[in-house]
Chain A
């Protein structure tokens, strides 16, 4: 009985989040914000269970996974359950982290149950050890300024282009490449 209730709850979570994702991909940034916020709680609980021996890494990995979700959002297509897509990204980032720490820690939790990613939720964020703001400062100007204006100060493309003296397409490319470079910095262990 409990299992059936649980499955029903997961299905409605899947439907709600998938709907937010589709609206987000269509340009609804409020829906996208709501999605990422709820995802961060699910990811936190999911990763906390699986990183029991590395509790201090959980919040960093939540942030790294959210950045990956954002950078790779063009690979989500609506014919696919969002659960499967998110789980594959979270699993990939988790395995990548464990590989970077190879040898020191062993996994003891199974990773293959993809429904598990939406099964729990945790809104208690611990402090991240890595400071993304500091990493952003190390980006080259053509990426740092567009991110500063558009993503942190909330300017539009046109306004950001005027403020930075760059063309509109250079601003868009700068944001895109800057967030990818940020993920690469994190992955490369520069952080």
Chain B
């Protein structure tokens, strides 16, 4: 087929394209993904039994704010990486800022604590399972975000996969926070972050193969 014929074929009856494809796709992915992750948490882990008391503590809201801020940064990065020729802009800063803020808080907590308390502040009582459970709860959003990206046109596939993975990880952590009893900044700064990095790394690894078009 000659190129002119191909052009004629592509243009023939091409019809209108509904605008806002990126926003619509991510809205659907986040809705279904967050629903799936919440269901998974409620069935497999259960909401923490002292939730009613915990909501009165500022640290409980900190624990939600950290993954929520990261999720916004990751969503911003993912939507930009889903479209050809769109620069990342401030996305890396939006991702690094909440991590740095939490690390500063954790360093402050550790520095002002007694030497004997530090180990408990860092390890809590659930450090072994925390990263794995965060990674598990990230699975529904991971699948949904990859689906969203697959229907768009990322050109930097490893970065795009990583952004989708971080979006899944941070939403997984946000939902895990409703189950997890740990309330100390150093714990969150290490184990929550590690849990979010598992789907991020997985996304970076499978992105180049999965997202090709």
Contacts and interface: CB of A to CB of B under 8 A. Distances in A.
A72 B8 CA distance: 17
Contact of B86 (A62, A71, A80): A80
B84 A85 contact: yes
Contact of A87 (B2, B10, B85, B212): B85
Interface residues on B, range: 20 to 34
B212 A132 contact: no
A46 B131 CA distance: 48
Contacts of B3: 40, 44, 59, 62-63, 66, 125, 128
Nearest to B9: A151
DSSP class of B's interface residues: helix, strand, loop or mixed? loop
B184 to A, nearest CB: 43
B13 A150 contact: yes
Contact of B7 (A66, A74, A91, A155): A66
A128 B2 CA distance: 7
Contact of B85 (A36, A44, A73, A85): A85
Interface string B1-44: 11110111111111111111110000000000000000000000
Interface residues on A, range: 35 or more
A34 B152 CA distance: 24
B6 A89 contact: no
Contacts of A114: 85
A128 B212 contact: no
A29 B12 contact: yes
Nearest to A134: B1
Nearest to B82: A75
Nearest to B86: A80
A75 B12 contact: no
Contacts of B19: 25, 77
B1 A131 contact: yes
A154 B86 contact: no
Contact of A68 (B22, B83, B85, B213): B213
B84 A29 contact: no
B16 A85 contact: no
Contacts of A75: 21-22, 82-84, 152-153
Contact of A73 (B2, B17, B20, B82): B17
A25 B18 CA distance: 8
B82 to A, nearest CB: 7
B85 A84 contact: yes
Contacts of B13: 29, 150-151, 154-157, 175
Nearest to B87: A84
Residue among A25, A44, A75, A81 with the most chain B CB within 10 A? A75
A32 B14 contact: yes
Interface in A152-182: 152, 154-157, 175, 179
Contact of A133 (B1, B7, B15, B22): B1
Interface in B48-64: none
Interface of B: 1-4, 6-22, 82-86, 152-153, 155, 212-213
Interface of A: 24-27, 29, 32-33, 36-37, 40, 44, 59, 62-63, 66-68, 70-77, 80-81, 84-89, 91-92, 96, 114, 125, 127-128, 131-133, 147, 150-152, 154-157, 175, 179, 183, 187
10 contacts: A27-B14, A29-B15, A63-B3, A72-B152, A74-B152, A75-B83, A87-B85, A125-B2, A151-B12, A154-B12
Given A85-B83, A127-B2, A154-B13, 8 more contacts: A33-B8, A62-B3, A63-B3, A66-B7, A72-B84, A80-B86, A128-B3, A133-B1
